Amino acid sequence: MREILLCKYGEIVLKGGNRKYFEDVLLKELRYRASFFGNFEITRAQSTIYIEPKDAEADLEGMFGAARRLFGIVAVGRAAVAEKNMDSILATAKAYLPPFLAGKHSFKVEGKRSDKSFPLSSPEISAQTGGAILSVMPRLKVDVHNPEITVRVEVRESAAYIHAGQFKGAGGLPVGTNGKGLLLLSGGIDSPVAGYMMAKRGVKLEALYFESMPYTSEQAREKVLTLAALVARYAGSIQVNVISLTHIQELIAKHCNEEYFTLLLRRYMMQIANMVAEKRGCEAIITGESLGQVASQTIKALNVTNALAKYPVFRPLIGMDKEEIVEISRHIDTYDTSILPFEDCCTVFTPRHPKTRPVLEKVEEEERKLPFDELCREAFESLEAFYIKAKF
């Protein structure tokens, strides 16, 4: 029995004259992912993408998972392929559907006749298929209003497709259709989620990680690269740019008022992020900040950082609480890595009483104690790049 995957896409259908562009980007990425799992033929028709294995070695299960993590796809289901006649459709339904219906109490069948030359109407297809299912699973009940599972029979131009139940896809828009953003990636819970959420809106991700060796460890860097790899399963391959802030942090700790330390450090980060964004062709900066979560994320503190931003700063988590963020991190499998106990640069030289309502002029006065531009250029020269290839 031939089995294929059916992928449905959502808001792409609303793109009007630009729709083909979004579809082409989606198909290109889907074909790239398919290359990891064997030989597949991928076609599209009527807002549905068909993924068909071309030989026995093709890994349909692996492809199923990769398709579910692809932004732009809202649902993925397995389907059996039947010839376009009712004998074949009914025989295939009786052979293919029982494992999907096992343990269920009620079902309904939705027939769809896209090929109008097919001799039966959609209601007739539904009725006959429902009868065939009941003949092999007589304990099931038909419930057209609130079924536990819906069986779908789609009669299209080339064949008929029978499937029961769909799994939710990643949704959103294909990565790369909304430009490129620089994600400030730390080893915490928040920033990987922020990257995931912006990639879901079609943003291609580049990442910037600040480290402070020897105060931070090699394990801390590896942790961040692992997080980037986990996000890349959704967002595609990511270049992670690593920059050392050790010298800057030591000078701030030595020469500046302690309560301004975090604010000053974040301004250095923003200026260096501007430089990396320019070098790498990014059009926005992405952070994992959530309003009021820590002292440096109050409105006044964020304004102090924003004053240096040369690009739009996207903060997709800004109105979310920690529980909501953790829920998403568990969903994308970054949580367990994020909580590994390796410090990042933001936990080094942490002030005992940080400013929560800073005045910009006071921060700039502290900043002038050090050669700001020179130190930013020096840090930028320490850049190391790591290309994280997506593994699906």
Give the model confidence (pLDDT) of 1-42 as tens digits: 899 999 998 899 888 889 999 999 999 999 999 999 999 999
C-alpha neighbours within 13 Å on the C-beta side of residue 366: 24
Distance, in Å, from the CA atom of 143 to the CA atom of 150, rounded to the nearest integer, reads 10
Q: Are 390 and 30 contacting, i.e. CB atoms less than 8 angstroms apart?
A: no
Lowest mean pLDDT among 40-54, 174-188, 194-208, 266-280: 40-54
Q: Are 190 and 183 contacting, i.e. CB atoms less than 8 angstroms apart?
A: no
- Whether the pLDDT of residue 345 is over 90: the answer is no
* Matching residue, tokens 């990257």: 195
Distance, in Å, from the CA atom of 200 to the CA atom of 327, rounded to the nearest integer, reads 16
pLDDT, residue 392, reads 84
**155 is written with which tokens?**
């009669």
Q: How far is the first Cα of the chain from the last one, in angstroms, to the nearest whole number? A: 26
pLDDT, residue 45, reads 82
Q: Phi-psi category of 236—alpha, beta or left, where left has phi over 0 and alpha has psi -120 to 50?
A: left
| 3-class DSSP string for the chain | CCEEEEEEECHHHHCHHHHHHHHHHHHHHHHHHHCCCCCEEEEEECCEEEEEECCCCCCHHHHHHHHHCCCCEEEEEEEEEECCCHHHHHHHHHHHCHHHHCCCCEEEEEEEECCCCCCCCHHHHHHHHHHHHHHHCCCCEECCCCCCEEEEEEECCCCEEEEECCEECCCCECCCCCCEEEEECCCCCHHHHHHHHHHHECCEEEEEEEECCCCCCHHHHHHHHHHHHHHHHHHCCEEEEEEECHHHHHHHHHHCCHHHHHHHHHHHHHHHHHHHHHHHCCCEEECCCCCCCCHHHCHHHHHHHHCCCCCCEECCCCCCCHHHHHHHHHHCCCHHHHCCCCCCHHHCCCCCCCCCCCCHHHHHHHHCCCCHHHHHHHHHCCCEEEEECCCC
Q: Are 288 and 190 contacting, i.e. CB atoms less than 8 angstroms apart?
A: yes
Check whether the bond before 214 is cis (ω within 30° of 0): yes
Distances (CA, A) of 354 to 71, 206, 245, 263, 294: 39, 30, 19, 8, 10
pLDDT band, very low/low/confident/very high, at 99 (cuts 50, 70, 90): very high
185-222 pLDDT per residue, tens: 999 999 999 999 999 999 999 999 999 999 989 999 99
- Whether the pLDDT of residue 295 is over 90: the answer is no
Distances (CA, A) of 5 to 10, 54, 71, 78, 93: 16, 12, 16, 5, 16
The residues that bridge with 34 in the sheet, in sequence order, are none
Lowest mean pLDDT among 77-91, 121-135, 342-356: 342-356
pLDDT, residue 46, reads 76
354-363 pLDDT per residue, tens: 878 999 999 9
pLDDT, residue 372, reads 98
**256 is written with which tokens?**
């500046």
pLDDT, residue 262, reads 92
Tell me how crowded residue 359 is: count the other CB atoms within 10 A of its CB: 11
Angle at 368 between CA 366 and CA 369, to 5 degrees: 75
pLDDT, residue 15, reads 87
Mean pLDDT for the stretch of residues 50-71: 95
Distance, in Å, from the CA atom of 166 to the CA atom of 51, rounded to the nearest integer, reads 15
* Matching residue, tokens 């933001």: 346
Task: Give the CA dihedral 62, 65, 68, 69, nearest 10 degrees.
Answer: -100
pLDDT, residue 337, reads 97
pLDDT band, very low/low/confident/very high, at 170 (cuts 50, 70, 90): very high
- Whether the pLDDT of residue 350 is over 80: the answer is no
